[in-house]
């Protein structure tokens, strides 16, 4: 079997809960992480039909879907055949949960094996529920421990989890991995009144080696620290790992956080449905973008129209397949995000492909304006590099006739407004390729996000969200 050389590679997955790597090894599983990628792919190609058959046999959802597509799980033995497997979209999952409440008919495990229930906040539609099995929770924790090890976190380290613990799976995933890694975990959370200010005291007191949040939250924390005359460098945080939104791979955001906290920023994250969502993650030796830990979740970057994988070097939308989940397994879940992938040598020695500049954003959030595609993160990156930027902005998209227009309202905290406006206009012109109206407003005009930022105000009638 192709996977013989891979540590603990079997289906269904399960890991020795006592295992820890050699303390001097940069790798949790040296073979799985550094092997010839073609051999790894061969093992994955043996696993895929097993996972697909399992989903087909255990869930009406996948049986229906594959019967309709005329697909036989046992025939998925080539990459070409895999590329024909229909993608799953989030709307389908929501509908399945409406039709077969509360968790949809893609659960695959008996109710008695459900160990954790989680849910989404539903800010972008009907909330989705997750029902994760006991075995899966253990495997998720193991995988996240392995990835945290790759980031440089070690047993005994204090890990401060500073994101929502309610309707957000991110914090739970970070916590479970840190627990399995035998860290000291502080599930601090976020979102309740006064918590950000109090976090400063707790961070100073606990001096965590690692910290998890959304990038927006870290920026907010830095701002509050400044207001309260606390120097965040004194928290001694060595590793700040982030998921949930673009930011950790946006150069100006990353620099700002690294400087404010005197730390190392690590990007990670796919989607809550895809937990172990840290399967896309940077490492200690490969700090930029994210590596795709293909033997945990199989990542493809696909053409957004055909859902076929694009060649390395090209841009597309990530499509994800669980290789180890037995509860609510996702097979070719379409992200509708945008990224570019590459296969090159990684500084850390792992032989995974990578997304060198992370996930730029969602296809729906991309602004099309007179033939140019503008990502909200590009605007963020420009503004953050201008001296005196007040920390927040909004991008207003309008439509006159058949033409989209954008205008940026940016906070400024200084005495030369016209200088700032000039710098912002020319910076935006350079990146967007068009003249962009800039309106300067005072610092603290806009609300700060303590979770995921949403800076685009779309005033075009046809795209208005219902």
Q: Which residues bind ligand 8LE (CB under 6 A)?
A: 169-170, 243-246, 267-272, 277, 335, 337, 358-359, 362
Planar angle of CA 445, 448, 454, nearest 5 degrees: 100
With CA atoms as reference, report the closest residue to 183 among 219, 151, 209, 147: 209
With CA atoms as reference, report the closest residue to 220 among 205, 236, 242: 242
Looking at the Cβ atoms of 323 and 333, the one nearer to ligand 8LE is 333
With CA atoms as reference, report the closest residue to 148 among 172, 174, 186: 174
- In the complex, the smallest distance separating the C-beta of residue 332 from ligand 8LE, rounded to whole angstroms, is 15
Q: Round to the nearest angstrom and report the end-to-end CA distance of the chain.
A: 51
Distance CA 319, CA 333 (A): 5
E strand or H helix that includes residue 420: helix 417-432
Looking at the Cβ atoms of 58 and 281, the one nearer to ligand 8LE is 281
Distance CA 19, CA 83 (A): 35
Distance CA 428, CA 199 (A): 35
- In the complex, the smallest distance separating the C-beta of residue 318 from ligand 8LE, rounded to whole angstroms, is 8
Distance CA 118, CA 271 (A): 13
E strand or H helix that includes residue 252: helix 251-261
- In the complex, the smallest distance separating the C-beta of residue 248 from ligand 8LE, rounded to whole angstroms, is 6
Looking at the Cβ atoms of 3 and 244, the one nearer to ligand 8LE is 244
- In the complex, the smallest distance separating the C-beta of residue 267 from ligand 8LE, rounded to whole angstroms, is 5
Region for residue 197 given its phi and psi (left: phi exceeds 0; alpha: psi -120 to 50; beta: otherwise): alpha
Distance CA 300, CA 418 (A): 46
- In the complex, the smallest distance separating the C-beta of residue 151 from ligand 8LE, rounded to whole angstroms, is 13
With a CB cutoff of 8 Å and minimum separation 6, the contacts of 426 are none
- In the complex, the smallest distance separating the C-beta of residue 86 from ligand 8LE, rounded to whole angstroms, is 19
- In the complex, the smallest distance separating the C-beta of residue 246 from ligand 8LE, rounded to whole angstroms, is 4
Burial code (b: 16+ CB inside 10 Å, e: under 16) for 37-64 equals eebbeebbbebbbbbbbbbbebbebbbe
Looking at the Cβ atoms of 221 and 386, the one nearer to ligand 8LE is 221
E strand or H helix that includes residue 63: helix 60-69
Looking at the Cβ atoms of 266 and 438, the one nearer to ligand 8LE is 266
Looking at the Cβ atoms of 142 and 337, the one nearer to ligand 8LE is 337
Closest-approach residue to ligand 8LE (CB): 269
- In the complex, the smallest distance separating the C-beta of residue 90 from ligand 8LE, rounded to whole angstroms, is 9
Looking at the Cβ atoms of 159 and 438, the one nearer to ligand 8LE is 159
- In the complex, the smallest distance separating the C-beta of residue 359 from ligand 8LE, rounded to whole angstroms, is 4
- In the complex, the smallest distance separating the C-beta of residue 333 from ligand 8LE, rounded to whole angstroms, is 10
E strand or H helix that includes residue 290: strand 290-292
Contacts 24+ apart (CB under 8 A), 430-434: 430/382, 431/374, 431/378, 431/379, 431/381, 431/382, 432/369, 432/372, 432/374, 432/378, 432/379, 432/406, 433/372, 434/369, 434/370, 434/372
E strand or H helix that includes residue 394: strand 389-400
User: How big, in percent rounded to 5, are the helix, strand and coil portions of the chain?
Assistant: 35, 20, 45
- In the complex, the smallest distance separating the C-beta of residue 350 from ligand 8LE, rounded to whole angstroms, is 18
Looking at the Cβ atoms of 66 and 360, the one nearer to ligand 8LE is 360
- In the complex, the smallest distance separating the C-beta of residue 170 from ligand 8LE, rounded to whole angstroms, is 4
Looking at the Cβ atoms of 77 and 126, the one nearer to ligand 8LE is 126
Looking at the Cβ atoms of 296 and 359, the one nearer to ligand 8LE is 359
With a CB cutoff of 8 Å and minimum separation 6, the contacts of 124 are 465
307 three-class SS: coil
């Amino acid at each position: 079997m192709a996977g013989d050389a891979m540590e603990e590679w079997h289906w269904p997955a399960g890991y020795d809960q006592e295992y820890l790597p050699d303390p001097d090894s940069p790798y949790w599983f040296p073979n799985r992480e550094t092997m010839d990628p073609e051999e790894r792919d061969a093992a994955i190609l043996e696993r895929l039909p097993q996972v697909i058959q399992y989903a087909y046999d255990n869930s009406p959802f996948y049986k229906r879907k594959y019967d309709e597509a005329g697909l036989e799980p046992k025939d998925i033995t080539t990459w070409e055949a895999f590329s024909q497997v229909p993608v799953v979209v989030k709307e389908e999952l929501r509908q399945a949960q409406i039709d077969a409440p509360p968790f949809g008919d893609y659960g695959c495990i008996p109710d008695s094996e459900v160990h954790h229930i989680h849910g989404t906040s539903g800010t972008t539609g009907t909330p989705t529920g997750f029902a994760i099995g006991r075995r899966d929770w253990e495997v998720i924790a193991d995988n996240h421990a392995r990835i945290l090890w790759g980031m440089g976190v070690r047993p005994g380290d204090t890990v401060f989890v500073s994101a929502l613990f309610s309707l957000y799976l991110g914090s739970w995933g970070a916590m479970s991995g840190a627990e399995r890694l035998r860290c000291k975990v502080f599930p601090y959370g976020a979102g309740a009144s006064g918590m950000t200010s109090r976090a400063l005291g707790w961070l100073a007191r606990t001096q965590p080696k690692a910290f998890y949040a959304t990038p927006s939250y870290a920026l907010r924390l830095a701002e509050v620290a400044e207001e309260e005359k606390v120097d965040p460098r004194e928290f001694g945080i060595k590793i700040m790992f982030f998921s949930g939104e673009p930011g950790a791979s946006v150069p100006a955001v990353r620099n700002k956080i690294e400087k404010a906290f005197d730390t190392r920023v690590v990007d990670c994250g796919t989607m809550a449905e895809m937990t172990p969502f840290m399967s896309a993650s940077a490492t200690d030796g490969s700090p930029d973008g994210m590596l795709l830990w293909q033997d945990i979740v199989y990542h493809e970057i696909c053409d957004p129209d055909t859902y076929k994988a694009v060649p390395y070097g090209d841009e597309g939308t990530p499509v994800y397949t669980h290789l180890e989940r037995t509860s609510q397994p996702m097979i070719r879940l379409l992200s509708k995000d945008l990224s570019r992938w590459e296969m090159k040598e990684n500084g850390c020695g792992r032989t995974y492909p990578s997304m060198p500049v992370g996930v730029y954003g969602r296809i729906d959030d991309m602004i099309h304006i007179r033939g140019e595609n503008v990502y909200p993160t590009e605007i963020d990156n420009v503004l953050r590099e201008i001296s005196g930027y007040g920390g927040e902005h909004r991008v207003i998209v309008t439509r006159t006739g058949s033409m989209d227009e954008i205008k940026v309202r940016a906070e400024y905290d200084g005495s030369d407004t016209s200088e700032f406006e000039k710098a912002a206009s020319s910076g935006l012109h350079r990146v967007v390729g068009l003249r962009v109206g800039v309106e300067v407003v005072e610092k603290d005009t806009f609300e700060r996000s303590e979770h995921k930022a949403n800076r685009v105000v779309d005033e075009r009638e046809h795209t208005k969200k219902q």
